[in-house]
Structure 1
Amino acid sequence: MQCKHIKVFGIVQGVGFRYYTEKIARKYNIVGTVQNVSDYVDIYAQGDKNSLTSFTNAVIEGASPASHIEDYEIEEIETNPSWKNFRTL
């Protein structure tokens, strides 16, 4: 089990990015959260290594057709056993 904190910068707010991120998370059985934070989208994602890699790649490749990712940061963090699903905050 791995957990990542992902910050996504660019045109990612008001374009359905969080909705598509949540949809992708469900596809790969990822738990965690996604939320808008000032000028970026903040994602906490947890799952098995292969699923988390696939999820991260899908999000970075453009979770929303209307989004435009300019930059992103990915940091591996400790797992959170309290997460049972993926939700938009």
Structure 2
Amino acid sequence: MAMRTGSEPTTARSALRARMWLSVWGLVWATFGTVAFSLVGRPGWAAACGVLWLIVTMDMTVIVRHLRQGPHWQPGRDIPPYLPPDRRP
């Protein structure tokens, strides 16, 4: 197991924007599936796509909220790195 250097919070990169675009892609397909299966007369598949549509919409809401909050969870440059754990025999 690798030892932490303590710089992880300042060097970490969030994949929220990628997750947002994947959610948009999922929302488009879930919407299309709901409409298409409703028109074809497959209520079970339309309901499944509708449930997926709701889940994707809730996920997008969380993503947008996190994007708007910004990097509030990361310490500033004035916070020193964590001390490594003591190695005891």
Q: Do these two structures clear the TM 0.5 threshold for a shared fold by scoring above it?
A: no
Give the TM-score normalised by the residue count of structure 2.
Answer: 0.29
Larger radius of gyration: 2
Name whichever structure is richer in helix by fraction.
2
User: When you count strand as a share of all residues, which structure comes out higher?
Assistant: 1
